Amino acid sequence: MHADPSGIANDRALVEHITDGDAMLRVGPGRTPVQVPEDELPVGATPGTWVVLDLQVQPPLVLHVDAELTRERGQG
């Protein structure tokens, strides 16, 4: 997926927060909010972590942590 000028690809999401078993993700350069069950997050995903999504299914499927983007953005 191509990134917009912000450097964030459409299939990347920030784990914003986790509350009561649900994770709020901010998806893509527009930071569209998407809620997923916490147990669908990959191991190691915590607030501030960037993850890769499969956008071909609804709701999006969280595939894995994007360690490089998490490091670059200074979060996680």
Residue ranges per structural domain of the chain: 12-72
Q: Could you give the C-alpha distances from 44 to 17, 33, 53, 58, 76, in angstroms and in order?
A: 14, 21, 15, 23, 9
pTM of the model: 0.86
pLDDT in tens, the chain (76 residues): 445 556 788 999 999 999 999 999 999 999 999 999 999 999 999 999 999 999 898 888 999 999 999 999 866 4
